[in-house]
With several copies, the nearest count.
Chain A
């Protein structure tokens, strides 16, 4: 495989991203990996029964990148994967907006599926991002920091 030094594996950004462009980068000059698995997370219009109208994402600059790099490193130690890309947006987002992208290539699909889900599961519990939702409940608008879910901890524990 040709080296691709210009492809940073991690991007924390306010701007939107293009799924097609990201996958094209993962596949470029990469004819050995036949499998590409992507995960895209978007802002839903509902959460816990409330109508969500917008989302703000805060992060801890520096630690976020370090945390994600560590997760990717672990994934590469556990599975035979080729290229990895993780994008997470920060700032103000609207309903339907893309929040997060994880793309993984591999020779065999099982590795790409497992590594992609592993990265998402650990991102959810160990990468320092926080969501604040703007919700409408009975006509009243309020802003709430999301509470972490036990189910996310359970998902991450499956891998250990």
Chain B
């Protein structure tokens, strides 16, 4: 299984903070995104936002980053701390 987490505006738009995915069908971060977009129109629209960032196991990564069972994959908007 892969643990998927969402933060900030993205979490609110999706109405979801965390979900688990079977790792069978996904090789990359982009695969996870595609799978999530299949849930419904709202998820698809929300993930159409090209400025969203992704991280695997707490490191910022690009969409072609490989994922494996046990990974924590995060999606979130550009950061605004400081």
A touches B (Cβ under 8 A):
yes
A→B interface (CB under 8 Å): 41, 57-60, 62-63, 66-67, 88, 99-100, 120, 123-132, 145-148
Known contacts A60-B7, A60-B74, A63-B74; decide if A129 and B58 are in contact (CB<8 Å): no
A145 CA to B80 CA in the complex, in Å?
9
Known contacts A58-B7, A130-B9; decide if A147 and B80 are in contact (CB<8 Å): yes
CB pair B58 A100 closer than 8 Å: no
CB pair A127 B81 closer than 8 Å: yes
CB pair B77 A124 closer than 8 Å: no
Residue in B5, B60, B77 whose CB lies within 8 Å of A130? B77
A131 CA to B80 CA in the complex, in Å?
6
CB pair A57 B81 closer than 8 Å: yes
Q: Shortest beta-carbon distance, B50 to chain A, in Å?
A: 13
Look across to chain A and name the residue whose beta carbon is closest to the beta carbon of B51: A148
A116 CA to B76 CA in the complex, in Å?
26
CB pair A128 B59 closer than 8 Å: no
Q: Using Cβ atoms and an 8 Å threshold, which residues of chain A touch B74? A: 60, 63, 128
A99 CA to B81 CA in the complex, in Å?
9
Given A88-B81, A148-B51, 15 more A-B residue pairs with CB atoms under 8 Å apart are A57-B81, A58-B7, A58-B8, A60-B5, A60-B58, A67-B58, A67-B60, A99-B81, A120-B82, A126-B60, A127-B79, A128-B74, A130-B77, A131-B80, A145-B12
